[in-house]
Amino acid sequence: MAQRANPALTALVDQARAATREAAGAFLAAAAGADRVEYVPVAGGRAVMLARLAQRIDAGATATCRHVRAGRPVPLTWLAWAPGLLRCVRCTAAAAAAMTEADVRCHGCEGGDRSTVVLTRVLLPAVVVARPLHASGPLTAVFGLCARCREAPDPPSTVDGGS
Ligand SMILES: [Zn+2]
Ligand SMILES: [Zn+2]
């Protein structure tokens, strides 16, 4: 049965789309500046890092910077070398400018350096939840992985198969 569109929901979906477009633009701009670009599936060590990020958020171990209004979709970035904060565009630029050589490491095993680690970006589009009305993201996760950690098996599913 067709329902009348909820204007607040429609507005939030429009904002989520615009925010995801903005994040995709930044994602492509970052890729244009890389030495080498490879598009790969989110599996193995990449999936492990995203699962770890989800666990941090669930555990309340990741805050957002003070420019982010809860419930609104704006581009956020998670930097694995400063994992306590999800940052707005401005705070991400400041953190990227302050990045040191020690930050370029494998965030799977905490080893490696610029010669062995591949900096990886994953863009997750904005999410809108209808009830209660809420939106967040898009979220770009940035982390380093060495060859061994890239090949890690997929993380076990946390979905409980029971009732
Ligand atoms: Zn900020
Ligand atoms: Zn590693």
What average pLDDT does the segment 38-67 reach? 92
- 74 alpha carbon, closest ligand: 1
From the CA of 119, how far away is ligand 2's center (Å)?
Answer: 12
In the block, which residue shows the tokens 């809420």? 134
Is it the case that residue 12 has pLDDT exceeding 90? yes
Which residues have their alpha-adjacent CB atom under 5 A from ion ligand 2? 106, 108-109, 146, 149
In what order do the strands lie in the sheet containing 63-64?
A: 63-64, 85-87, 76-79, 139-145, 118-124
Cite the DSSP H helix spans in 37-114.
44-58, 89-97
Which ligand minimizes its atom distance to the CA of 67?
1
Residue ranges per structural domain of the chain: 7-150
- The DSSP bridge pattern shows strands 63-64 and 85-87 to be parallel
pTM of the model: 0.87
Nearest to 106 by CA among 141, 87, 135, 81: 81
User: What pLDDT is stored for residue 160 in this prediction?
Assistant: 55
CB 145 within 8 A of CB 45: yes
pLDDT band at 140 (very low <50, low <70, confident <90, very high): very high
- Which residues, other chains included, contact 69 with Cβ-Cβ below 8 Å and sequence gap of 6+? none
* Mean pLDDT of the 89-118 span: 92
